[in-house]
């Protein structure tokens, strides 16, 4: 799982750079949310492996949220963070309207809390 954690950190590091650009007024919300989603999913895999001994493979997002929510303490909050990120995924990747700075900052915070939990558990 170390490789997965390194990927989560790599995505988060890119997100940090994009967040700086966003604060400078550049329109990077969709790219920022997309890397935050990748960071959040990788972090969730690490968390599930560390606490439950397995993780959800494939695209069953509901199952992934349900598994991470079993973790104590803090599983419910982590599940909410992952769910919120997954809901933003489709909008960022496929919708025509750009994602705003407020929403992308929310994604960055959620990804950060998932990666932080994955790192320290």
**Does 9 interact with other proteins (rule: CB under 8 A)?**
yes
Q: Hey, what are 46's tokens?
A: 């690490």
Structure tokens at 83: 């769910």
Residue whose token pair is 């959620």:
110
- Cβ closest to other proteins, residue 57 vs residue 72: 72
* Cis check: omega of the bond before 73, within 30 degrees of 0: yes
- Both tokens assigned to 89: 């995924």
- Nearer to other proteins by Cβ, of 50 and 91: the residue is 50
**Closest approach of Cβ 97 to other proteins, in Å?**
27
Binding residues for other proteins (CB under 8 A): 9, 13, 16, 20, 23-24, 50-54, 70-75, 116, 119-121
């Amino acid at each position: 799982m170390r490789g997965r954690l390194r990927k989560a950190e790599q995505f988060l590091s890119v997100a940090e750079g994009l967040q700086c650009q966003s604060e400078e007024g550049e329109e990077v919300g969709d790219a920022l949310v997309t890397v935050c989603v990748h960071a959040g999913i990788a972090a969730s895999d690490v968390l599930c492996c560390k606490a439950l001994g397995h993780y959800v493979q494939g695209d069953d997002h509901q199952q992934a949220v349900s598994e991470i929510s079993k973790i104590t303490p803090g599983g419910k909050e982590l599940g909410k963070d992952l769910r919120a990120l997954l809901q933003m995924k489709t909008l960022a990747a496929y919708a025509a309207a750009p994602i705003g700075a407020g929403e992308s900052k929310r994604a960055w915070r959620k990804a950060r809390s998932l990666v932080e939990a994955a790192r320290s558990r």
